[in-house]
C-alpha cells in the first residue's frame, strides 16, 4: 500500500531525511521510533504533502500511484489520512458540524462513545481541549474520514494512561477493519516514548535516527532494546 524508496527530504534547503526506504503492505501496522528531532514527523509530513517539506530525491507510492507531485488535497482523495500531533483549533466549527460536512454524522455518536468523547460533539473543534482530548479527537477524525493509509503522529504523547489504552485499541480497530469500500487499510504510527506498543499489535518497527532508518524488525524486541540501550542498532541485527 505504501512504498517509499530512497526518499530524501529537506526544509528550507536543509536535509532532514536521507535514503528512507519502507514498504507497508495492506492490513499492516508499522511503528516508527526515534529520538526527538530524528525526522519522524518530517516523514509523515512528506507522505501527506505538507509544506514546507520538499522531496529532493526518491519516490513515494500509494497503491502503486506516485504521489511526489500530488497536492495535499489529491493525496487525501487518494485515501491518505493523518492524525496530527498539534492540530489547529477551529472557533465556530463544532465537532458535529465537521462530521456532518464529511457526511459522517451517522457514525459520530458510536465512535465518539468508544473514545470517551460523547460530551465533546457540540463543542468547537479543539477549542479548550486538553492535550489528551485533542489526540483522541484526531483518532476519531480518522474514523470519520475513512482513509486507507493512516498516519499517526505521536498519538500517545500528553495522554493519560487510561486513554492511551483507548487510543491504542482504536488504532488497532481502525487498522484491522476494511474501509467503507471493503478494502484493507494500513497504518504508520510514530512514537517517541514507545508506550503505544503496549496497546497495539504492530507488525513491524523501524528505528529512525539522524534522518535515516538504522534498523527494522520485531516491534517488541526493538522496543525492549531501546529501553536498555537507547536508539542503537541491536548487536544481533
Q: For residue 142, what is its C-alpha cell?
A: 480518522
Structure confidence at residue 102 as a pLDDT band (50, 70, 90): confident
- Say what the pLDDT of residue 31 is: 96
N- to C-terminal Cα separation, the chain: 26
Cα separation, 122 vs 93, whole angstroms: 9
Q: Tell me, what DSSP letter sits at residue 183?
A: -
Concatenating the DSSP letter of every residue in 122-145 gives TSEETTT--HHHHHHHHHHHHHHH
Q: For residue 44, what is its C-alpha cell?
A: 509523515
Domains of the chain (ranges plus CATH)?
Answer: 2-229 (3.40.50.300)
Cα separation, 186 vs 150, whole angstroms: 6
Cα separation, 132 vs 193, whole angstroms: 15
pLDDT digits (tens, 9 = 90+) for 35-60: 989 999 999 999 999 999 999 999 99
Share of the chain above pLDDT 90, in %: 71
Amino acid at each position: 500500500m505504501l512504498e517509499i524508496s530512497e526518499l530524501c527530504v529537506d526544509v528550507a534547503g536543509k536535509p532532514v531525511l536521507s535514503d528512507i526506504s519502507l514498504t507497508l503492505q495492506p492490513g499492516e501496522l508499522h511503528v516508527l521510533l526515534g529520538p526527538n528531532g530524528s525526522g519522524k514527523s518530517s516523514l509523515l509530513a512528506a507522505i501527506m504533502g505538507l509544506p514546507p517539506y520538499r522531496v529532493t530525491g526518491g519516490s513515494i507510492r500509494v497503491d502503486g500511484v506516485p504521489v511526489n507531485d500530488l497536492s495535499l488535497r489529491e493525496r487525501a482523495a487518494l485515501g491518505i489520512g493523518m492524525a496530527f500531533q498539534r492540530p489547529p483549533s477551529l472557533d465556530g466549527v463544532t465537532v458535529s458540524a465537521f462530521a456532518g460536512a464529511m457526511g459522517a454524522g451517522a457514525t459520530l455518536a458510536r465512535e465518539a462513545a468508544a473514545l470517551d468523547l460523547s460530551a465533546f460533539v457540540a463543542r468547537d473543534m479543539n477549542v479548550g481541549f486538553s492535550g489528551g482530548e485533542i489526540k483522541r479527537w484526531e483518532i476519531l477524525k480518522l474514523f470519520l474520514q475513512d482513509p486507507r493509509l493512516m498516519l499517526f503522529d505521536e498519538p500517545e504523547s500528553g495522554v493519560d494512561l487510561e486513554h492511551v489504552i483507548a487510543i491504542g485499541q482504536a488504532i488497532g480497530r481502525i487498522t484491522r477493519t476494511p474501509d467503507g469500500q471493503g478494502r484493507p487499510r494500513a497504518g504508520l504510527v510514530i512514537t517517541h516514548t514507545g508506550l503505544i506498543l503496549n496497546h497495539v499489535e504492530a507488525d513491524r518497527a523501524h528505528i529512525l535516527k539522524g534522518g535515516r532508518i538504522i534498523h527494522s524488525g520485531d516491534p517488541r524486541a526493538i522496543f525492549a532494546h531501546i529501553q536498555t540501550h537507547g536508539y542503537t542498532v541491536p548487536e544481533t541485527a
